[in-house]
Amino acid sequence: VIDLVLVDVNLADGSGIDVARAAQARGVPVMFVTGSCPVEATTLAAGCMAKPYIPRDLIAAIEAIEAMLGGGKPTRVPSGFTLFPRTA
C-alpha cells in the first residue's frame, strides 16, 4: 500500500507531473518536493515542499498532509511548505 508519493517536477526519465497524475488517478496523495512548485500542484497534490529543506521540515510536511487527509488540522506547517486543503 502506498500512503504518499513524493516527487520532483523534473525527473531524469520523465515528468513529475505525469507521476502525480497517475498517483492521483489511483487515489494516492502526492507531495511535490521541488525547487519551484508547478501551477498544477493545487489540483494534483496535497502539498508542495520547496527545496532545499531540512529533514525535520520534510517530516513535518508529511505529518501536516496526514493530519489534513485524516480530517484534522496540522500542528505545524514548516517554512517552505504549502498545504493544499481539500474541500468537500
Q: Is residue 88 part of a domain?
A: no
What is the H or E stretch that residue 74 is in?
none
pLDDT tens across 74-84, in order?
999 999 999 99
Confidence (pLDDT) at 88: 47
Q: Is residue 62 part of a domain?
A: yes
Query: 41 in helix, strand or coil?
Result: helix
Q: Is residue 69 part of a domain?
A: yes
In the structure, what pLDDT confidence band is assigned to residue 87 with cuts at 50, 70 and 90?
low
Which residues are 18's β-sheet partners? none
The three three-digit cell numbers of residue 57, written as one number: 521540515
What is the CATH classification number for the domain harbouring 47?
3.40.50.2300
pLDDT tens across 10-59, in order?
899 989 999 999 999 999 999 999 998 888 888 999 999 999 999 999 99
What is the H or E stretch that residue 11 is in?
strand 10-11
Count CB neighbours of 37 within 10 A: 19
